[in-house]
Structures are given as structure tokens and as C-alpha cells.
Structure 1
Amino acid sequence: MIRHLLRSWASLRWQEALVFVTAGLLFGAVDLTSLLEFNPGDQLPQVLARHLSVPLLSCIVLLLCWLPAARSSPIHPARRARLVMATLLGSVLAIAIIYPLIAAMPWPSMCDLYVAFHGKPNKCTNHRITALIGDALWVFMPALMIVGVLEFRALRRRQDQAVQDLLREHSQLRRNALASQLAAMQAQVDPKLLFDALIAVEQAYARQDPDASARLERLIGHLRVALPRLRDTGASLAGEAELIASYLTLLRDLGGTPPTLDVELGPHGNRCLPPMLLLPLVQRALRLGHPTRCWLRAGPPLRLGFDEAGLCSDDAELASLRERLAVLDAKLSCHSADGRTEFTLNLPT
């Protein structure tokens, strides 16, 4: 209990303190409107000090009672009752503290000036139980309105925060789902390509080709690079370059003429990037043309190029890849000129 009180008081925000202090000064200023009825003379500073300090002290007591209830669980079923009881307790304590304080104050009050001005008996310090109850209710009602406004603002703030959290969670889930989908797509081995590679290895062994064992090792190497991506939701730049190299080597073993690959990663080989970015571009380039050279530069930005122009056509495959990249906060651009095509990938940091 004591620890909760201390933590609650320590968590006071300056905006909350400003609300209570402003309310205290405002109520004190309202009382001072009675000064328009008569001239307090040289007692004006003492009257101002008394009638501004008393409501300010009341609001400080209310603030200290309100904070533990405000810092309680926002979803507790008794939260509203706690706030009302804390406000009521603060009102009673404020009056209990103010009564002996104003009795000991040497400064005159508005009541003192009034009875002196009209020549009536001074009953300003005659505190009865009915006056105590009335003054406590006088403090409680406006204090409850202030607490209600603060609670409404806190509720709106929690709701806005919950909405933002849900949006961030939805975005993260969408990213994770897309990354998993792309990883699974990247890990897929073309059945026809795999079947042709196995037949080619079998035929090489049948004719006792001395390169048969090496071709089998290269096929196994490609599968070792591609299959683990079934479990991964991300990739490294070096791993993607290795996947492209093994894929082109596999095509070469099948009698094709894939382009040579030139890779320059520098210190960026371990850089993480979303899967299914580079290999689809290479496969697309081989379907659309016959490049003889391919290069990969780490950048930034990341660049994948081919020594053939005309590979920037906006087909459905490229549009789909750009849509996936947009979800991942990445951007793909393409430039084709002078017998070459280069794709530029701007990836999130």
C-alpha cells in the first residue's frame, strides 16, 4: 500500500499538476470577486495571499488523494468507485487541514473584511459540523468534475494507444505472414528443374562421366542452400548470393547457358533482408532474355544488374514483387539503357 502511494506520487505528470494548480487559482480568483464591493485598502496583499493559498492547498491535497486511485488498474471494475471515494476523501481532508490553518493565519479573510465593513459580529471562525459538511461538499463537487474530465482524457488516451498498438501488431503480423510466405516461395524447388537435374546426374553416372560426382555434389549443394529457407523468415545478402550462384550452376549442369555472376558484397554480406527478392529477378531475366553477365553490388542501395536491355517491362510478376516490397517498406526501381538493365533495391534500415 505504502509502495503504491509512493509510486503514484512519483509518477505525477506536470500536465496533471498544472490542472489542479490552475483549478485552485481559478476558485481563489472567483472568491476575490467580492473585493469589488468594498476597498480592502492596505490589507489587499494579505487578502490575496489568503484566498489564493487556501484553494491551492485544497487542490494539492486532492491531487495527492487522487493519484493513487488514478494509477490503479484501468480495467478494475471498481475503478470509478475508487476515484469517487478518493475525491471525497481528499475533499474532507482538505477541509480538515484548512480549518485549523485559516484559524492560525494572521491574514484577514473576505469574511473579516465584510463584517468589519458592515459592523457585524465576527463569526467567520465559528466552524460548526454543518459548515464542515457544506464546505467539504463545496470542494467535492467541482473536484469530482475535474477528476471526471481527467479520467475521460485518460480513457481516450488509453483507447488511442490501444488502437495504435493494434495497428502496429496488425502491421507486424502482416509483415511476418508475408515474410513467411515469401520464404516458403523462395524455398520451393521447381519440380521440373529438380527432376531434370536428377535425370542428368543419373545419365552422367550411366555413361561413367568423370564429372558425375561433382554434378551430384552441386545439386546437393543447391538443395542445402534452398531447403533451409522453409524454416527461415529472413535471409542474409551473402545467403541470397549463394542461392543465386547455386541456381545458375545447376542450370549450367543441365546444358543451359546462364549468365556468369559477379558479386561484390564488401562488409555487407551479413546484412538482413526480406526473402524472395533477388532470385525471382534473376529467373525473370532469364525468361525474358539471354543475358550473359549478372552482377550484384551491396551498395547501399542494393543493385542487381544484367548486360541486356529491355528487362524493365512492368509485367504482373514485377508488379507483385513491388507490392510485397511496399508492405516491407522497401522499394524496387529499374533502369534500362546502353545494353544493360539494373534493378535498385532500397531496403529499410
Structure 2
Amino acid sequence: MIRHVLRAWRSLRPVEALAFATAALLFGAIDLTSLVELNVGDRLPQLLARHLALPLVSCAVLLLCWLPAARSSPVHPQRRLRLIGATMLGSVLTIAVIYPLAAALPWPSLCDIYAMTHGKPRCSVFRVTAVIGDALWVFMPALMLVGMLEFQALRRRQERAAQDLLREHSQLRRHALAARLAALQAQMDPALLFDALVAIEQAYGRHDPAASARLDRLIRHLRVALPRLRGAGATLGGEAELIASYLDLLRDLDGRPPAFEPLLGTHAGMALPPMLLLPLVQRALRLGPPGRCWLQATEAGITLGFDLPGLCCDDTDLASLHERLAVLDARLTCTGGPDRTEFTLELAP
């Protein structure tokens, strides 16, 4: 209990102290409106000091009582009762501190000046009804201030919770999409696989010296693609190897695929979501085919180019790719020329 109270006091934020101090000075200024009706003469500085210092002391006592309740569990079912109880306790303690302090201060109050002017008893005389009234006078505005601070704290918690949910939802979408793309990339085209196996069987049947190399290329492509099913992280170098092995299979089937030039430098180990580059290559083969394609990585992004114009036109393949990129917070731009088309992929940091 004591540790909680000490931690709560140490956690005081400047904005909270400012809110309590502003409220205290405001109520002190309200008391000073009676100066319009009274002629206080040279006692004005003393009046100002008294009627501004006492509310600040009250503010400090209320603040020390409010902080432990405010720093308690925000989801506790008795939180509101704790805040009301802390405010009530602070109001009672405020009166217990203010009365002796006010009696000890040598500065007169507005009530004292008014009483002396009209021949009434001094305001410092102790009365039970006055104590109860003063306690309620402190409790009601303090409760409104506590309610305002609690409402703001609740709103901040709700905003943080909403932001956390949005971030979690975005991460789950990205993870789910990455898993789907990995599984999709690991799926072999049945027709391509069947044609490759038939071609290899025929090559062995006619004792083609290149049959063994063709089988090695098929095994290489399977080894590159299938690890995605085990959740292995995709890298730019791995994607380049996948594209190269895919084009080698097409070359073995007399598909005349383009020559592939990966220019990755030190960016080969860059993390890259799967199934973002190979669909662009497959799309270019359907629309072209190009004679050459290149993959280049820089700090600005990843560029996949083809020596074929007119590949920037919108179609269902590009639309599907843009949808994936939107989930991954990535962006794909296309620039074309008379003899080339380049796609630039910019990933989120």
C-alpha cells in the first residue's frame, strides 16, 4: 500500500499538477471578486497572498489524495468509488490543514475585513456548521475536476486500445497474407512440372547427355520453392534464385525465356515478402515475351526491368498485386519507354 502511494506520487505529470493549480487559482480569484465592494487599502498584497496561497495548499492536499486512486487499476470495478472516496478524504484533510494554517497566518481575509467593517464576530471562530460547509465547498468542485481528469484518461486509454487493435489487425493481415503468398509461391504449376518430368524422361530415353543437368535444374527449382511451405523467411536473393530456376525450367522446355541478370550487390539478404516479383515475370512472359530482364536493388527500392515496352497497362494481375502490396504497406510504380519497362518496388521500413 505504501509503495503504491509513493509510486503514485512520483508519477505525477506536469499537466495534472497544472490542472489542479489552475483550478485552485481560479477559485481563489472568485473569492477575490469581493474586493470590488470593500476598501482594503494597503492590505491588498496580504489579501492576495492569503486568498491565493490557501487554495494552492488545498490543491496540494487534494492532489496527494487523488493520485493513489487515479493510479489504481483502470479496469477495477470499484474505481469510481475509489476516486470519490479519495476526493472526499482529500476534502476533509484539506479542511483539517487549512483551518490551523489560516489561523496561523498573520494576513487578514476578506471575511475578517468585512466582519470588522460591519461589527460582526471574526471569521476565525470555529463552528461545526462552517466546517461542514467548507468541506462540501471543497468536495464538489474537486469532484468535478477529478471527473474531468478521469474522462480524459479514459479517452486516452480508449484511443491507445483502438490504435493497438489497429496495429495488431494490420500485423495479422500482413502475416496471413505472407503465409498465403508463401504457400502460393511454393505451389508448382502442375502443367509445368508434368512437362518438365516428361521432357527429362524423354531425354534419358534418347540418352541425351543434358538429361542429368535438366534433372538437376528441376530439383534446384523445387528446393528453392518448397522451403516457403516450412515458413522460411524470403529474401531478395532467394527470390532472384527462384526467378532464375523458373526461367531455366522454361528454357529446358524450349520456351525461349528472357536472359535474367540479377544485380543485387549487398542487398541479397534483404527481407522480401514472397510472390511479389515472380508474378511480374510471368505476366511479362504472357504479354511479351521479353528478350532480357534484370533485377536491381538500391537504397531507393527494388527494380525489375524488361526490354519490352507496354507492360504498364492495367490488368487483373497488376490489380491483384497492388492489393497485396496495400496490405504490406508497400508501393509499386511502373515506368515505360520505347524499348523497356521497369517496375520499382518500395517496401515499408
Q: Does residue 284 of structure 2 align to residue 311 of structure 1?
A: no
Q: CA deviation at 1:77?
A: 0.2
Q: Does residue 335 of structure 2 align to residue 335 of structure 1?
A: yes
Query: SS at the partner of 1:84?
Result: helix
1:177-236 Cα deviation digits (max 9, x unpaired): 222222221111101111111222222222222222222221111111101112337521
Counterpart for residue 217 of structure 2: 218
Whole-Å separation in 2 of the counterparts to 1:228 and 1:210:
30
- Mean Cα displacement is larger for which, 172-181 or 218-227? 172-181
Whole-Å separation in 2 of the counterparts to 1:239 and 1:233:
10
- Mean Cα displacement is larger for which, 178-187 or 205-214? 205-214
Counterpart for residue 253 of structure 1: 252
Q: CA deviation at 1:51?
A: 0.8
Counterpart for residue 30 of structure 1: 30
Q: CA deviation at 1:69?
A: 0.6
TM-score normalised to structure 2 length: 0.95
Whole-Å separation in 2 of the counterparts to 1:127 and 1:203:
113
Whole-Å separation in 2 of the counterparts to 1:328 and 1:233:
18
Counterpart for residue 57 of structure 2: 57
Query: SS at the partner of 1:294?
Result: strand
Counterpart for residue 271 of structure 1: 270
Q: Does residue 77 of structure 2 align to residue 77 of structure 1?
A: yes
Counterpart for residue 44 of structure 1: 44
Aligned residues, how many? 348
Counterpart for residue 3 of structure 2: 3
1:102-161 Cα deviation digits (max 9, x unpaired): 111111111221122123332x22223332222111111111111111111211222222
Whole-Å separation in 2 of the counterparts to 1:22 and 1:288:
71
In structure 1, runs of 5+ residues without a counterpart are none
Whole-Å separation in 2 of the counterparts to 1:337 and 1:204:
41
Counterpart for residue 228 of structure 1: 227
> What is the CA RMSD across the aligned residues, in angstroms?
1.5
Counterpart for residue 146 of structure 1: 145
Query: SS at the partner of 1:291?
Result: coil
Identity %: 72
In structure 2, runs of 5+ residues without a counterpart are none
Q: Could you tell me which amino acid in structure 2 is paired with residue 296 of structure 1? A: L
Q: Could you tell me which amino acid in structure 1 is paired with residue 14 of structure 2? A: W
Contact 1:285 1:291 in 2 (8 A): yes
Query: SS at the partner of 1:348?
Result: coil
- Mean Cα displacement is larger for which, 335-344 or 183-192? 335-344
Q: Could you tell me which amino acid in structure 2 is paired with residue 73 of structure 1? A: S
Q: CA deviation at 1:17?
A: 1.1
Counterpart for residue 295 of structure 1: 294
Whole-Å separation in 1 of the counterparts to 2:84 and 2:151:
14
1:2-47 Cα deviation digits (max 9, x unpaired): 2211221122121111111011001111111122222111111111
Contact 1:176 1:233 in 2 (8 A): no
Query: SS at the partner of 1:272?
Result: coil
Contact 1:233 1:275 in 2 (8 A): no
Whole-Å separation in 2 of the counterparts to 1:337 and 1:58:
76
